[in-house]
Structure 1
Amino acid sequence: MRLTTGGEDKDLAGLLDEALTAFNAEATGAHDGEELSVRAEDGDGAVVGGLTGWTWGDSCEVHMLWVREDRRGSGLGTRLMRAAEAEARRRGCRHMAVSSYTFQAPGFYEKLGYTVTGRTPGVPGGHEDVHLYRSLEP
């Protein structure tokens, strides 16, 4: 056996994704994993914000949310999250999860009704990764 370390390995990432997806589907019976995105463009077609994540079974997880600096504080982040939540509900999801570093926006998610479920210390600069959850059920 040989172990190799390095940078990005797209072949390995693809193999792991396929193998773990099959394993997870077998273990849970959920075979419906799907990517999720919400894109915000200005009148000229320039991207001013966006969100990516995935849905699987009754779960949705946000991976990245970004709003261009000149649009921050405009409500766009809230609109992106609410659009993702609506799409997650449409896909049958009952809850959502997201994580945010302490220097990013955990308070933003809390204002949207997300609850802190954990913290992972050790982020560079003395920060933490804050894990948040929200039920999508009425």
Structure 2
Amino acid sequence: MINFKKVEQGTLESTINDIFKEQNEQHFEETLERHAEVIAIGAYDGEKIIGGIIAKKEYQNIHVSMLAVSNEYRGQDIGSQLLMEIEKLGRESGIINLTLTTRSYQAVEFYKKAGFSVFGTLDDMPMQGVTKYYFNKRL
């Protein structure tokens, strides 16, 4: 009989990773290495951090999880330059796709202008009245 119970993440993670590894071996001639790596690039004005980008490189994808620039520094292409830094790193390491999400009240037009394409939306996510946008940019 199968039963279900809450478990600590660390306890479960190695088992799930083994299952994923087995699936990869079944579906790919060459085992793809996950090589999960967090990339964090700060934007500084002197010694003061004024924004930055945090992304996760995994397999042949980089997913941008956070990008922000302080209000007083917006409109100076700092966000665009941060994205260009991630793209540069991606191209240098054989990345195929950049992905990210944003909310309807955040930076939808900014990402479109930066060459990202919307591949999905989800209404009322994460709360009613907000749309979550899913973006991709093929390198």
- Structure 1 length-normalised TM: 0.81
What is the correspondence of 1:58-137 to structure 2 with a 5 Å cutoff? 58-123=60-125, 124-136=127-139
How far, CA to CA, are the matches of 2:11 and 2:103 in structure 1? Answer: 29
Q: Is 111-120 or 51-60 further displaced after alignment?
A: 51-60
Percentage identity across paired residues of the two chains: 23
2:45 to 42, 55, 61: 42
Report the CA distance shift for 1:25/1:60 in structure 2 as closer, same or farther (over 3 A): farther
What is the correspondence of 1:50-61 to structure 2 with a 5 Å cutoff? 50-61=52-63
What stretches of structure 1 of length at least 5 have no aligned partner?
5-10
How far, CA to CA, are the matches of 1:75 and 1:129 in structure 2? Answer: 24
What stretches of structure 2 of length at least 5 have no aligned partner?
25-31
Report the CA distance shift for 1:59/1:69 in structure 2 as closer, same or farther (over 3 A): same
Aligned residues: 129
Specify the code of the residue in structure 2 equivalent to 1:113: G
How far, CA to CA, are the matches of 1:85 and 1:33 in structure 2? Answer: 17
Give CA deviations for 1:33-79 in whole Å, capped at 9, x if unaligned.
Answer: 21111111111x11101111111121110001010111111100000
Q: Which residue of 1 aligns with 2:27?
A: none
2:23 to 14, 21, 27: 27
SS of equivalent to 1:70: helix
Specify the code of the residue in structure 1 equivalent to 2:8: L
Spell out structure 1 runs of 4+ moving beyond 6 A. Answer: none
The alignment's C-alpha RMSD in Å is 2.1
